[in-house]
Amino acid sequence: MRYFVLIGLILGALVGYYLLWAHLSDQVAAEATRWAEAQRAQGREVSYDRLRQWGFPYRLSLTMENLRWHDPQSAVGWRIEADEVNAHLQLWKLDHVIFDLNGAQRLAWKEGDAERQVTLTAERFRSSLVLDAAGNWLRLAADLEKPSLSGALQDWRADKLLLHARRAGNVPPSADLALQAEAVTLPASADGPLGRQIASLRLVGNARGTAVGRTPEDLLGTWRDSGGIVEFETIALQWGALRMNGDGSLTLDKQFRPLGAMAGQIRGAEAGLDALVAAGRMKPEDAAAGKAALGVIALRDDRGERYLPVPLTAQEGRLFLGPVPLFALQPILPGK
């Protein structure tokens, strides 16, 4: 008799656990539906082909197939499409959502009468979001393996892309940010003396400012006008034999172009001059004179390695190395 009672208790516990899982799963699905309804109430268009609940017994998982989002009220008519969006929660940790995005994600917008589009694919696209009790975000992270971007912004690829954001304060709103990219392949049009392969890029800093509005232009404009700025404590780049590291700050000008300054150190400048000679963009005698000049102004670090102190500034739509203009800077918003 005791065994029958024990079996009954186990079966009862399993049924109770399933009922709890089913109840929480329905709540997650209802929350997704409320989000779509709230977007529609704001004039946006949201649709998907299928909403599927799964994950028993360990997770509360929800899949949206062929998710489509469109903001016809924005100046450029932003449109987002995703082949498959999976959201996962654990029953004992409902404030932490993990997302898997499978297939392709497409972002489209209008430039005049023409529509432009970029497509993002990755072997793995995983992200996570941590919320507080009021539903405000606390931490956001994205981890992409073999991401590839194609379309209107040309073709970009990387072996790995990591992005982390952590809410740092409310007055003014601020967030700690970290970006890391490895083995980046630039578009064919960017093939210069240093080649199209960037070995690594790392940015760590803090973004401050208030963003209010319904369109990206409104959000960026109010952020800029409220004193929005990104302070970088780490800027590290390895591109061919050239290595650069430093710190600086960045904001936007009235035309939504980068505006800021950086102080850093460059190593491998001599190899950069050799690359210019190999590409036919500098005469050997000029490179030799340049190396001699670099030898005069170069400093040595604690390990005895030579480096160049470098001031970079972005202003009036151009990037400057000291007083020397390097190239023009374009607005970060399409169509501006």
Q: Name residue, tokens 């393996």.
A: 145
The mean pLDDT values, 10 residues at a time, for the chain of 336 residues are: 71 84 92 94 95 93 96 87 96 91 93 87 96 88 96 88 92 91 88 81 94 78 92 92 90 93 85 74 74 74 79 86 70 68
What is the pLDDT, as a whole number, of residue 149? 93
Distance of CA 221 to the CA centre of its chain: 19
Q: Collapsing DSSP states into helix, strand and coil, what is residue 34?
A: helix
Question: 160-170 and 156-157: which strand pairing?
Answer: unpaired
Q: Name residue, tokens 């030799």.
A: 288
What is the pLDDT, as a whole number, of residue 1? 65
What is the pLDDT, as a whole number, of residue 329? 80
Residues near 307 by beta carbon (within 8 Å), at least 6 away in sequence: 265, 266, 267, 298, 299, 300, 301
Residues near 191 by beta carbon (within 8 Å), at least 6 away in sequence: none
What are the backbone angles phi and psi of residue 149, rounded to the nearest 5°? -115, 125
Q: Is 45:79 a contact under the CB 8 Å cutoff?
A: no
Q: How many helices (H) and strands (E) are present in the chain, helices listed first?
A: 4, 20
- Please provide the distance, in angstroms rounded to a whole number, between the alpha carbons at the two ends of the chain: 79
Q: Is 275 left (phi over 0), alpha (psi -120 to 50) or beta?
A: alpha
What is the pLDDT, as a whole number, of residue 327? 63
d(CA 284, CA 261): 32
Q: What is the dihedral of CA 101, 139, 176, 103, to 10 degrees?
A: 0
What is the pLDDT, as a whole number, of residue 214? 65
What is the pLDDT, as a whole number, of residue 236? 95
d(CA 181, CA 158): 7
Distance of CA 91 to the CA centre of its chain: 29
Q: To the nearest 5 percent, what fractions of the chain are helix, strand and coil?
A: 25, 50, 25
Please name which of 136, 212, 130, 124 lies closest in space to residue 164, comparing C-alpha atoms.
Answer: 130
d(CA 269, CA 306): 10
What is the pLDDT, as a whole number, of residue 336? 57
